[in-house]
Amino acid sequence: MARASLPITRLSDAGHADPTPVDGDVTNGHSLPNTGRTVLRVRNADATNPHTLTLVTPITVGGKAVEDTEVTIPAGATLSFGSLSTALYGSSTPIDVDSAQLKLTAFEP
């Protein structure tokens, strides 16, 4: 199946309530619409175990694949990612997760 596109919450000076996060999809993964200014917030809802988020780098350099960015999210922690280069990650960044316990939210300034 195709990757599910993450919804983007547009921020403004009027403020915005936190949107409901998307549960990580272990089977199909996600696609993040990425402008290079997009912010991805990932919360590990598992209070016991760390889980892994992978930002897939769909490019090659000199015919060789560029290594994906794998980040371990500690149990109960929230990490935010930003300044995701479109040259490295593309304008539709593929994201893989190892657990539905990872909750994803995307913002655009």
Q: What is the pLDDT of residues 67-108, one digit of tens each?
A: 999 999 999 999 999 999 999 999 999 999 999 999 999 999
Strand residues in the chain grouped as ranges (E):
4-5, 8-10, 22-23, 30-33, 39-44, 51-55, 60-61, 64-65, 69-73, 78-81, 92-97, 102-108
pLDDT at residue 1 greater than cutoff 80: no
What pLDDT, on the 0 to 100 scale, is given for residue 37? 97
pLDDT interval class at 30 (50, 70, 90) = very high
What pLDDT, on the 0 to 100 scale, is given for residue 28? 97
What pLDDT, on the 0 to 100 scale, is given for residue 33? 97
